[in-house]
Amino acid sequence: MQGLRMTLRSLLSRDRAETEMDQELRFHIEMETEKNVRRGMTPERARTEALRTFGGVEKTKEQCREERGGRWVEQLLQDLHYGARTLRKQPGYAAVVVLILALGIGANTAIFSAVHGILLRPLPYPQEDRLVILRQSAALAGQEDVHVSPMEMADYRARSRVLADLVEHHTMGFTLLDRGEPQRVQTGVVSWSFFDVLGVKPILGRTFRPEDEKPGAEPVLVLSHEYWRSRGSDPRIVGRAMEMNDKTHTVVGVLPPVPRYPAEDEIYMPTTACPFRASEHAATDREMRMLTAFGRLRSGIPLAQARADLAGVFGQLRAEYPEDYPAEQGFDAALLPLREELVREARPKLLILLGTVGLVLLIVCANVANLTLSRLVQRQRELALRSALGAGRGRIARQLLTESALLALAGGAAGLLLALPALRLLTTFAARFTPRAHEIGVDGTVLLFTVGASLLTGLLAGVAPAFSRHDPTAMLKEGGDRGTAGGKSLRMRNALIVFQLAASFMLLIGAGLTLRSLWELEQVNPGFRPERVTAAGVFLDWNRYDSEERSWGVFNALLERIGSHPGVASVAVGTTYPLNDSVPWNNALLIEGRAPVPGEAAAPVDLRLASAEYFSTLGIPVLKGRAFNEGDHADAPPVVIVNRSLVRRFWGDRDPLGQRISLDQGENWRTVVGVVGDVKQYGLDQEVADEIYRPFAQYSSYTGNVLVRSDLPAATVEKLVRDSLRAIDPQQAVHDVRTLEDVRAESLAPSRLTTTLLAIFAVLALVITAAGIAGILAFSVSQRTHEIGIRMALGAVPGDVRFMILRQAAMLVLPGLALGMAGALVLTRVLTSLLFGVEPTDPVTFVAVSLLLLGVAAVACFVPARRATEIHPMVALRSM
């Protein structure tokens, strides 16, 4: 404690401590002088002898300062002051280094903010490590998630011993009437304790209670934070009545801004308020799997034990209901941590980006180290003089590291400013893979990372220059050869350039592969023509339109009204349209005359509904037979149209026209009347599904997407659809109006964003590397001025000098390419999940990137090589 007090005193009261030390030293010298006078010496001699006996005053002061403590802080402040003064004398060098550091640190800060917000930050739920998802799957049928039925939910709740609670969620679209204006809202149907299990507390009102889920309870709603904000953030919205499903619902609460998973729901209702969930079919059909199940583990129960318990429960269900869990489909159930599930798709992409910007930062460090090494040659005499005056290598190294740290901190501050605009792009990118995207931002952890990254960058960039060797004796000689001094670190500078080239090559390969993959995706034929087609969702009130006659009556009238407009070429309605993120509607297919193979489940196929002009409106070709027509109404013989993929699978080369199939285990049979082309329904990079189309008029569907092919602007088409529906039923809503060209572009957006980010980082690395090559060659030319002058005086032509400089560059570029190619062959394996139609070792990409890097290196070498040929021999010889 005494030492600490002395240290603090010396730091906080430095002037006072120095004054007291001077007074104490003066007192001791005066006492020794008086003692010598009493011995008979003259005053002058007595003082001289006292000083000699006492020793060097300044040396004694230094010893006292060391004993007092805090000396390292004083030296650090001295280093900072001296470093700042030195950098001010060379503003060009400082500005270039700060800019380079800002680019590297800014890129790392931006990506880390995304990694921290999505992967590292805890979920905004209490005890989030105990939250799990119960997922059922049918692996042998290719279904990763088959959801859970209400009957299965009841069984899991009754039999599980490790779950404190198990709650359900499914999402529906309903028409909400608030003050007479119809609006389609995405509604989460949840258990009453859903928010209690997650630990979410409302910011207004309350969440659901047990009595809200009892049959016959008054319908209530809870609003998401985002929906509440979109309605003006009215603090008095609790208690407002809104009409939905022909019932009056009361708003009872508003949620905080938390991740909305598994769907971006706008409002929430209890299970008994949903007409589908409360139906008798849901209560009695074990295969009506429509729910996502969330649970919270009991306190002290590890995940492994919970999984073992669930496996036992599922084994009991499979034994009791074997017909509902066919062995040939590979049914299983598992518990997954909620946190891992929220970031499952985003994790690999973010880690790839983090590794990319980490490589960029290493390139920045190497470039700054090269600049600093070159600058040291100009400071050799200064450093040698300091060494001659007693400064040790450690003291000089500390000074150089301090200067590097100052530059890095300045670069970090500038990098943080550069990172802020990039957060919006990253949020857009991450939102396609995780509901946690809105948590991306700059907080204390991100700021701490920026400071840490800046200091680490300063250390990495400054360690090589700080501990480089120099000969003070040689440099203090009059006319000492600076070229010799500079040559001592040439090998290190060349090694750093080779590393930059190799790292840049690897980044360019990654960007080139994703660019090639994006190009391949854009060349994929989607199977339809999206040009001039606008889609508009129409979801009718299920309580009012619950039969073929009623629902088809509205859609048929709507098609007639829209089709009569002079600017409309064709109009149709379907349950879905390609590339719109729709969920597959699977059905089991039976073909008449083919007995099912014992023990083999019926083949699952995708079922879609389509009106008469559906295929012509979308530009899907009819390959055989016919499309639907007006005669395929509810009272007509049931018919279907199949796609070419399904024909190849089940009929091969035989003609399927006239064949009959069943989609309900043989209860009803439908005749195949046409074959249409394959369509990429779920993504341009996905396999084509086996599809069956049924006439819209022969199925009771309250949902549909109106498709309009027209030369009219999308806004005009949207108004036409809204006005037409309002004329038929003003209480029904139109929503999600989009052009199919936009839909196709959005399907490419994840690949396009990934490619854009990787390309930005690769180009950044390439520019920094090119600047480094040009810089080291320019420095080499300046150091070899005398040599070049002598060569030209002896008859060397400019072409010989240029060849000499370019040969020096080739000695850097070729090893860098070779090392980068070896690294790329290893590292590009991690990009496999991001590629489509391109191998990680694609030779076209490797050749193109090699030529690009050689071209950039040649351009970077041009200015130094030309400068070398402009050196006049007489000027070079006179300066020796």
Q: Are residues 517 and 662 in the same domain?
A: no
Mean pLDDT over 590-595 rounds to 81
**What H or E segment, with its residue span, contains residue 157?**
helix 150-159
Among 731, 762, 783, identify where a domain stops. Answer: 731
Mean pLDDT over 118-134 rounds to 89
Q: Are residues 653 and 796 in the same domain?
A: no
At residue 874 the predicted structure's pLDDT band, cuts being 50, 70 and 90, is: low
Of 545 and 693, the structure prediction assigns the larger pLDDT to: 693
Q: Are residues 682 and 763 in the same domain?
A: no
Of 587 and 660, the structure prediction assigns the larger pLDDT to: 660
**Could you give the CA distance from residue 870 to residue 695 in angstroms, rounded to a whole number?**
81
**Could you give the CA distance from residue 403 to residue 267 in angstroms, rounded to a whole number?**
56
At residue 712 the predicted structure's pLDDT band, cuts being 50, 70 and 90, is: very high
**Confidence check: pLDDT of 735 > 60:** yes
At 483 the pLDDT is: 44
Does any domain span residue 380?
A: no
At 125 the pLDDT is: 87
At 5 the pLDDT is: 56
Q: Are residues 758 and 796 in the same domain?
A: yes
**Could you give the CA distance from residue 9 to residue 64 in angstroms, rounded to a whole number?**
14
Q: How many CB atoms lie within 10 A of CB 873?
A: 16
Over residues 464-489, the pLDDT tens digits come to 665 555 555 554 554 444 444 445 56
Among candidates 763, 823, 196, which has minimal Cα distance to 503?
A: 823
Does any domain span residue 410?
A: no
Share of the chain above pLDDT 90, in %: 34
Of 64 and 218, the structure prediction assigns the larger pLDDT to: 218
At 550 the pLDDT is: 84
Does any domain span residue 757?
A: yes
> How many helices and strands in the chain, by DSSP H and E?
28, 21
Q: Are residues 710 and 796 in the same domain?
A: no
Mean pLDDT over 398-415 rounds to 82
At residue 46 the predicted structure's pLDDT band, cuts being 50, 70 and 90, is: confident
Residues 6+ apart with CB under 8 A from 203: 225, 254, 255, 256
At 484 the pLDDT is: 44
Q: Are residues 181 and 302 in the same domain?
A: yes
Q: What is the pTM of this model?
A: 0.77
Mean pLDDT over 581-593 rounds to 78
Mean pLDDT over 413-435 rounds to 87
Beta bridge partners of 204: 254
Does any domain span residue 10?
A: yes
At 195 the pLDDT is: 94
Helices (H), 523-656: 548-563, 614-618, 644-650
At 509 the pLDDT is: 92
Does any domain span residue 387?
A: no
Cβ atoms of 189 and 263 within 8 Å: the answer is no
Helices (H), 435-481: 444-466, 472-476
In which domain, by residue range, is 52 found? Answer: 2-69
3 state DSSP class of 302: coil
**Confidence check: pLDDT of 382 > 90:** no
At 479 the pLDDT is: 44
At 598 the pLDDT is: 59
| Strand 660-662 versus strand 586-591 pairing type | antiparallel
Alpha carbon separation from 37 to 30, 45, 200, 722 (Å, rounded): 10, 9, 88, 114
Of 848 and 278, the structure prediction assigns the larger pLDDT to: 848
Among 309, 342, 375, identify where a domain stops. Answer: 342
Does any domain span residue 430?
A: no
At 79 the pLDDT is: 62
Share of the chain above pLDDT 70, in %: 81
Does any domain span residue 112?
A: no
Of 300 and 871, the structure prediction assigns the larger pLDDT to: 300
Q: Are residues 676 and 764 in the same domain?
A: no
Number of domains the chain is built from: 4
At 719 the pLDDT is: 93
At 309 the pLDDT is: 93
Of 804 and 739, the structure prediction assigns the larger pLDDT to: 739
Please tell me the least confidently modeled range out of 33-37, 506-510, 834-838. Answer: 33-37
At 279 the pLDDT is: 80
Q: Are residues 322 and 188 in the same domain?
A: yes
Over residues 300-355, the pLDDT tens digits come to 899 999 999 999 999 999 999 998 898 878 899 999 999 888 888 888 888 888 88
Over residues 820-864, the pLDDT tens digits come to 999 888 888 888 888 888 999 899 999 999 998 888 888 877 767
Please tell me the least confidently modeled range out of 176-185, 259-268, 277-286. Answer: 176-185
Burial of 879: CB neighbours in 10 Å, binned 0-12, 13-18, 19+: exposed
**Could you give the CA distance from residue 413 to residue 450 in angstroms, rounded to a whole number?**
8
At 96 the pLDDT is: 81
**Confidence check: pLDDT of 15 > 70:** no
Among 709, 731, 753, identify where a domain stops. Answer: 731
Query: Which long-range contacts link 75-84 to residues 24+ away (Cβ below 8 Å)?
Result: 75/398, 76/402, 79/398, 79/399, 79/402, 80/402, 80/406, 82/399, 83/399, 83/402, 83/403, 83/406, 84/406
Of 662 and 390, the structure prediction assigns the larger pLDDT to: 662
Mean pLDDT over 799-818 rounds to 77
At residue 292 the predicted structure's pLDDT band, cuts being 50, 70 and 90, is: very high
Q: What does the mean pLDDT of the chain come to? A: 83
**Confidence check: pLDDT of 614 > 50:** yes
At 830 the pLDDT is: 83
Q: Are residues 777 and 718 in the same domain?
A: no
Does any domain span residue 851?
A: yes
Q: Are residues 748 and 880 in the same domain?
A: yes
Q: Are residues 177 and 259 in the same domain?
A: yes
At 4 the pLDDT is: 47
Buried b (16+ CB within 10 A) or exposed e, 399-417: bbbbbbbbbbbbbbbbbbe
Q: Are residues 671 and 577 in the same domain?
A: yes
Residue 290 φ then ψ, to 5° = -135, 0
